[in-house]
């Protein structure tokens, strides 16, 4: 099944977040995880041999509804991409700042908070 590939992607991302020590790699893993979810959402609305969900003047409404791909997940994915863009920008900024302060990207060396 093609859906399982999405879960492989999500699992790879989750593995990266949990195991990796380098904060930049953690950020990349998070991005991979989000792409997995986005891909899953897109696949949910996909229809094999469907039309793109854009109407033009020539289109017949009932035929269009019968054949077109579900546009809602695409809108959702667009929104969630924008959100993950925001998170990504924030996290990259945090990484840069952390590097300024600690001089390293290694998360095991950032241990001021304990208890």
Partner 1 sequence: MNGRSSREGMSVIVKTVTRWVEGFILLYGIYIVLYGHLTPGGGFAGGVIIACAFILLTLAEGQRVASKTLNPAVAAELDSVGALIFLGVAVAGLVVAQVFFKNIIATPEAAQFHLFSAGVILPCNIGIGIKVGVSLFLVFAMLSALHVTVRQDGKRDLVRRGKDES
Partner 2 sequence: MIPLFVAIPLGMAFIIPMVSRKLTRAPDVLGNATMVCLTALALASIGRTGIYHMGGWETPIGIDLRLDGLSVLLLIAVNVVGLAATLFSVDYMRLYTSKFRYYSLFLFMVAGMNGVVLTGDMFNLFVFMEIASISSYALVAFGCEHEELEAAFKYTVLGSVASTFVLLAIAFMYGMTGTLNMAHVATKIASEGMSTPLMFALSLFLCGFGLKAALVPFHAWLPDAHPAAPAPISAMLSGVLIKAIGVYVLARLLFNVFGITDNLLQLLRWAGVLSMVVGGLLAIGQWDIKRLFAYSSISQVGYIVLGLGLGTPLGLVGGLYHLVNHSIFKSLLFLNAGAVEYATGERDMRKLGGLNKVMPLTGGTSLVGSMAIAGIPPFNGFWSKLIIVLACVQSGHYALAVTAVVMSLVTLSFQLKVQRYVFFGSVRAGLDRLQQIPGLMAAPMLILAVLCVGMAFLIITGMDTPLLIAPAADALAGGFFTL
CB 115 within 8 A of CB 107: no
Distance CA 42, CA 20 (A): 28
Q: Which does 101 bind (CB under 5 to 8 A by kind): partner 1, partner 2, none?
A: partner 2
Tokens of 70: 């579900």
- Applying CB under 8 A, the residues found at the interface with partner 2 are 10, 14, 17, 23, 26, 30, 33-34, 37, 40-41, 44, 72-73, 76, 79-80, 83-84, 86-87, 90-91, 94-95, 97-98, 101-102, 110, 112-113, 115
Residues 89-108 close enough to bind partner 1 by CB under 8 A: 89-90, 92-93, 96-97, 100
Under the binding rule (CB under 8 A), the answer on residue 69 touching partner 1 is no
Q: Which does 8 bind (CB under 5 to 8 A by kind): partner 1, partner 2, none?
A: none
Q: Tell me which residue has tokens 């094999």.
A: 48
Tokens of 11: 């699992």
Distance CA 51, CA 65 (A): 10
Distance CA 85, CA 93 (A): 12
| Positions in the binding site for partner 1 (CB under 8 A) | 52, 54, 56-57, 75, 78-79, 82-83, 85-90, 92-93, 96-97, 100
């Amino acid at each position: 099944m093609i859906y399982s590939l999405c879960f492989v992607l999500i699992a790879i991302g989750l593995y990266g977040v949990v195991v990796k020590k380098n904060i930049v790699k953690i950020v990349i893993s998070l991005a991979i995880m989000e792409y997995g979810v986005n891909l899953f959402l897109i696949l949910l609305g996909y229809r094999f041999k469907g039309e793109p969900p854009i109407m033009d003047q020539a289109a017949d409404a009932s035929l269009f509804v019968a054949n077109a791909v579900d546009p809602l997940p695409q809108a959702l994915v667009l929104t969630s991409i924008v959100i993950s863009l925001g998170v990504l920008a924030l996290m990259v900024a945090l990484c840069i700042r952390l590097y300024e302060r600690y001089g390293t990207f290694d998360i095991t060396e950032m241990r001021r908070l304990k208890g």
